[in-house]
Amino acid sequence: MNTHTALVITSISAPNEVLRSFAEGCAKNKTEFILIGDSKSPKDFSLNGCRFYSLEEQKTLPFAFAKICPERHYARKNIGYLLAVKNGAQMIIESDDDNFPRENFWDNRSLTQPAFDIQQQGWLNVYSYFTNGYIWPRGYPLEYLHKELKPLSLFEQREIKAPIQQGLADENPDIDAVFRLTQSLPFSFTEKHKIGLGKNTWCPYNSQNTTHFKEAFPLLYLPAYCSFRMTDIWRSFVAQRIAWENNWHILFEEATVWQERNQHNLLRDFEDEIPGYLNNAKIAETLGKLTLKSGIHYLGENLLHCYRTLIDLKLVGEQEIPLLEAWLADLG
């Protein structure tokens, strides 16, 4: 990597093949590796090339957020982001403990790059542009699955600014329980594009293979008081809406990891995803109508406005606001 870069993962696993692969890659590519544990993490976790933070150590950190974030929750990953920022990261990459990095995962990332510029399209299943198969990303509204998409060739390729970038995952991509219960896996993407989603174009992105550049760090925030399976998805909707105010794109690109998925109960996943199936389109419609402010100095104010809106929709708990305020104070 060509700048101070940090990789952040949260895990309750003992050192496994994925974590060892990331640790080796980070050492070779001069990337800081921050691993955030939780209450079920091994007490004796040790892995060369990885800085592990136990639950007990997290509570001693100089972050207000770390002291009030719920335990046994994916939102503890926010503590890893804060540590990366504190250590001077200019770029934060994140993944999970069941995604193997490919060689191209370690390629240098650029804030601005040529990509297909897609704007004013409403809901867009960006996965469709990377395959001839039938697939959609977790969080994509089911009611829009049959929406006809324009050929990619109709969109202009130009230099875009994308401080948030999503790499895809092969073998076991980030898809919802409806897909897993009705379609077959493994599934891999065959096309290699760079696609930038701009104003008034919605597509969920996840936290499994995602890059944030420094100016977008506040938008890393993962909410804690909502459906577990929607934590990173609703983060993505909030971030997309705020990105529009800054003329930023969300970049999607080819798969740079492949997943051997941890064991899941698919019916439990389905149950956790129901708030998304029923409300994702409404969330986007509601966020789209908000009046937000332009400029990176207003990212925090815009975040609070968006999450208060999700609270008004009764999709996020009121306890989220103290957490978000602590996050913003720690970032400050």
Of 96, 74, 109, give the one whose Cα is nearest residue 22. 96
Q: 133 and 55 in one domain?
A: no
Q: 315 and 188 in one domain?
A: yes
Task: For residue 230, give both structure tokens.
Answer: 């929607």
Q: 71 and 179 in one domain?
A: no
The per-residue pLDDT for 1 is 58
pLDDT tens track, the chain, 332 positions = 557 999 999 999 999 999 999 999 999 999 999 999 999 999 899 999 999 999 999 999 999 999 999 999 999 999 999 999 999 999 999 999 999 999 999 999 999 999 999 999 999 999 999 999 999 999 999 999 999 999 999 999 999 999 999 999 999 999 999 999 999 999 999 999 999 999 999 999 999 999 999 999 999 999 999 999 999 999 999 999 999 999 999 999 999 999 988 788 999 999 999 999 999 999 999 999 999 999 999 999 999 999 999 999 999 999 999 999 999 999 99
Residue 4 CA to residue 1 CA, distance in Å, equals: 8
Burial class (CB in 10 A: 0-12, 13-18, 19+), 234: buried
Q: 160 and 14 in one domain?
A: no
Q: Are 206 and 233 a contacting pair, CB within 8 Å?
A: yes
Of 30, 24, 26, give the one whose Cα is nearest residue 8. 26
Q: 161 and 249 in one domain?
A: yes
Last residue of a domain, one of 51, 68, 97: 97
* CATH assignment at residue 47: 3.40.50
Answer positive or negative: Cα dihedral of 152, 122, 112, 110.
Answer: negative
- Identify the domain containing residue 71 by its residue range: 1-97
Q: 148 and 50 in one domain?
A: no
Q: 307 and 228 in one domain?
A: yes
Q: 166 and 225 in one domain?
A: yes
Residue 195 CA to residue 164 CA, distance in Å, equals: 12
Parallel, antiparallel, or unpaired: how do β-strands 164-170 and 250-259 relate? parallel
Residue 198 CA to residue 60 CA, distance in Å, equals: 40
Residue spans of alpha helices (H) in the chain: 17-28, 55-58, 64-68, 77-86, 177-182, 231-244, 266-288, 299-312, 320-331
Residue 143 CA to residue 240 CA, distance in Å, equals: 20
Q: 158 and 288 in one domain?
A: yes
Residue type, 20: R
First and final CA of the chain: distance in angstroms? 26
Q: 143 and 42 in one domain?
A: no
Residue 40 CA to residue 100 CA, distance in Å, equals: 22
Give, in order, the Cα–Cα distances in Å from 311 to each of 79, 188, 226, 288: 23, 37, 10, 16
Q: 179 and 191 in one domain?
A: yes
Last residue of a domain, one of 97, 119, 146: 97
Domain count, the chain: 2
Last residue of a domain, one of 44, 72, 97: 97
Q: 77 and 187 in one domain?
A: no
Task: Please provide the DSSP assignment of 61-103 as one string.
Answer: SS-HHHHHSPSSSGGGHHHHHHHHHHTT-SEEEEE-TTEEEPG
